[in-house]
Structure 1
Amino acid sequence: MQEQLLFLEQQLLRPATRGDKRQLELLLHADFIEIGASGRMYDHAQALAELPSEAADYPVRTIESFRLRKLNEELVQVFYSIAENETQRTSIWKLEGGQWSMIYHQGTRRAS
């Protein structure tokens, strides 16, 4: 499970995935909510509208210190940091019909 969720998180950091609305629809749950490092909140529709437009210029992101905790049989929370911009990230993934999709994501800048 950890390897699979790490792979899915890495996919969402790839410009090719971020630019593909069909892929995003598979990876982001219909009830998806994100709170960005800026504090701005995004829902599913906003993420699908904005991610493709910024995909081409999206910089390389490297996941470090990836770990997870199982919340229940269908929900898993992952924690990791991004090396290039010193943010802490957490996501909640939901398993439905044998498919994982991200239902929540938050990025927080590390304190200096």
Structure 2
Amino acid sequence: MDRDEESIVAEVVERELLLMSPAVRSSRALVDQLLDPEFVEVGASGRRWDRRSMLSGIPVMQGAADDGPQYVASGMTGAVLAPGIVHLTFETVLDGRRARRSSIWRKSDDATGWRMYYHHATPVPDA
């Protein structure tokens, strides 16, 4: 990976981490800035989320309160798949539950920059 790609991946990683922070998760307006208009997620529960359902539910989901369980991410890596497309993979722990995650981010033509286009989470069973 060249320096430009490293810089792009670092920017996308920063945005991914923002989406896990209580300060952002508790704000529909902030989440709105980070989700692509065509956003889709398949959550660890198996539920399919679109942008509208995610925006309406996010402020009350786990990880949105400063005094509640929060996401802890590890092993985050990324690759530039094509110009304007980045794929991240990592693991999280939330309230003792582990999940393997994959996100696809795409760069918007407007000033919003990188936005999450697709996210998938798979629960990791206890050993």
The verdict on a shared fold, with TM-score over 0.5 as the criterion, is yes
Distance 1:110 1:47 in 2: 22
* Structure whose alpha-carbon radius of gyration is higher: 2
Distance 2:56 2:31 in 1: 10
Q: Counterpart in 2 of 1:68?
A: 78
SS at match of 1:4: helix
Decide whether the 8 Å contact of 2:91 with 2:98 is kept in 1. Answer: yes
Deviations 1:58-108 (A, max 9, x none): 522111111112221011110000144221000000001350000100110
In the alignment, structure 1 segments of 5+ residues that lack a partner are none
Q: Counterpart in 2 of 1:79?
A: 89
Q: Counterpart in 2 of 1:51?
A: 58
Distance 1:106 1:28 in 2: 14
TM-score (norm 1): 0.90
In the alignment, structure 2 segments of 5+ residues that lack a partner are 1-7
Distance 2:68 2:75 in 1: 21
CA drift of 1:2 comes to 2.3
SS at match of 1:10: helix
Change (3 A) 1:58 1:70: farther
Q: Counterpart in 2 of 1:9?
A: 16
Distance 1:83 1:3 in 2: 21
Structure 1 vs Structure 2 CA RMSD: 1.6
Distance 1:17 1:81 in 2: 19
* Equivalent pairs, count: 112
Distance 2:50 2:93 in 1: 26
Decide whether the 8 Å contact of 1:15 with 1:58 is kept in 2. Answer: no
Distance 1:25 1:40 in 2: 20
| Counterpart AA for 2:46 | G
Matched, 1:90 2:97: no
Decide whether the 8 Å contact of 1:32 with 1:104 is kept in 2. Answer: yes
Q: 4+ residue stretches of structure 1 with deviation over 2 A? A: 53-58
TM-score (norm 2): 0.80
